[in-house]
Structure 1
Amino acid sequence: MTQLESQWVVGFVDGEGCFFIGLNKNPEMTLGFQVLPEFCVVQHRRDEQILYALKKFWGFGVVRKNHGDRLCYRVRGITNLNKTIIPFFEKHSLKTKKKIDFLKFRKVLQLIENKQHLTIQGLLEIDAIRLEMNTGKSKKKLILIDGKLDLIDI
């Protein structure tokens, strides 16, 4: 496979990429929840070479099974997201509505960088942003009841 070019990567991510914020219960975390930012691109197994080309393009990330016959290229490391993925898409702007998710994703990473995910207010702000991303696909919302955080179905 030939070397990928930046504008091709932008177009491909516009069509096939996802900026996602996971929120999981984790009793080992200060507030009992872990924020998991993730950039991923999903493809059918027959096109797995493009996922490996993306991994080579950025120099990090993993290619893993996703669902059924689909694979995904995934980046979860905060350092790689902050130092490479975010600056790349700041320099090479997305063209579709995915840009809105990218800007929200960047905001969450800034909140994490500023340690806001370690405060109740910051975690609630991150959750509010998360719920607005990816056309609101999340089925759970973080709430504060009697000073304690919990995820509820919505």
Structure 2
Amino acid sequence: MNLNKMFKTINNLKLLQFLVLLTISFYFFHSTENDAFLACSVIFIHLYFTTGFLDAECCFSITIRKNLKCNIGWSIGLTFSMALHKKDLSLLKSIQESLESIGSITKHNKDSIRLQVTSKKDLAIIIKHLEIFPLITQKFPDYLLLKQAFELYSNKEHLTIQGLKKLVAIKSAMNFRFIKWIKKSLSWCETCN
């Protein structure tokens, strides 16, 4: 990273901090007992705020499941998700709107809701956003791994044994606990043992 880019990132962080405080202030000073105002409106949020919130709350995952209907016997899923308390529905809707209305918001459990993105088209929007407004925390390496998996998926490499092996390696880098399970399940894969 060159010096100019580093200073630009620092200035963007200051802007991000200001926008976070502004948005939180707006949320608390305009909420009512029943949140009717917030439920009917979408809060404008700056795209740097969206990235900052993603940095704090989102999750990237790669799912590899045994599926005998697939030619190679395994299916692949890429997921972006973010769960918040149900009282933050309007904020989650605003984040969804700032990302071109991608994915769907569903009930996650008793007190939380989740924005989940699994379609190739919507994942491409997330990747495009994070290329312009990059993550700055330790979540960035996981994003790079998801992006790499997305490229394999987009090029249909996941439909081959070699592509599956690459995805196993990427997923293993995202979550070390996965290694034991995959070694047991993919005993036929000599590069996994």
The two structures share one fold, judged by TM-score above 0.5: yes
Displacement of 1:68 in angstroms is 3.8
Q: Name the CA distance, whole Å, in 2 between partners of 1:52 and 1:140.
A: 36
Q: Residues 146 and 42 (structure 1 numbering): CA distance in 2 closer, same or farther, change over 3 Å?
A: closer
Displacement of 1:54 in angstroms is 1.9
Segment drifting more, 91-100 vs 58-67: 58-67
1:74 equivalent in structure 2: 116
The answer as to 2:86 corresponding to 1:45 is yes
Q: Is the 8 A contact 2:45 2:94 kept in 1?
A: yes
Q: 1:55 aligns with which of 84, 96, 101?
A: 96
The answer as to 2:188 corresponding to 1:145 is yes
Q: Name the CA distance, whole Å, in 2 between partners of 1:32 and 1:8.
A: 41
- In terms of fraction of residues, the more helix-rich structure is 2
Aligned positions, number: 145
Displacement of 1:3 in angstroms is 1.1
2:75 equivalent in structure 1: 34
Give the 3-state SS of the residue equivalent to 2:186 in structure 1: strand
1:128 equivalent in structure 2: 169
Q: TM-score, normalised by structure 2?
A: 0.69
Give the 3-state SS of the residue equivalent to 2:141 in structure 1: helix
How far does the alpha carbon of each residue in 1:44-81 deviate from its partner, in whole angstroms, 9 at most, with x for none?
12212222112222222101122342211011001221
Q: Supply the AA of the counterpart residue of 1:127.
A: V
Displacement of 1:144 in angstroms is 4.3
- In terms of fraction of residues, the more strand-rich structure is 1
Q: 1:99 aligns with which of 135, 140, 146?
A: 140
Q: Name the CA distance, whole Å, in 2 between partners of 1:109 and 1:66.
A: 25
Q: TM-score, normalised by structure 1?
A: 0.85
RMSD between aligned residues: 1.9
How far does the alpha carbon of each residue in 1:104-145 deviate from its partner, in whole angstroms, 9 at most, with x for none?
000000111121101111101101111221x43536315242
1:15 equivalent in structure 2: 56
Greater relative contact order (CA < 8 Å, ≥ 6 in sequence): 1
Q: Is the 8 A contact 1:124 1:143 kept in 2?
A: no
Displacement of 1:19 in angstroms is 1.1
1:151 equivalent in structure 2: none
Q: Supply the AA of the counterpart residue of 2:97.
A: K
Q: Is the 8 A contact 2:60 2:143 kept in 1?
A: yes
Overall identity of the aligned pairs, in %: 28
Q: Which has the larger radius of gyration?
A: 2
Q: Residues 146 and 99 (structure 1 numbering): CA distance in 2 closer, same or farther, change over 3 Å?
A: closer
Give the 3-state SS of the residue equivalent to 2:60 in structure 1: strand
Q: Residues 137 and 63 (structure 1 numbering): CA distance in 2 closer, same or farther, change over 3 Å?
A: farther
Q: Name the CA distance, whole Å, in 2 between partners of 1:66 and 1:3.
A: 24
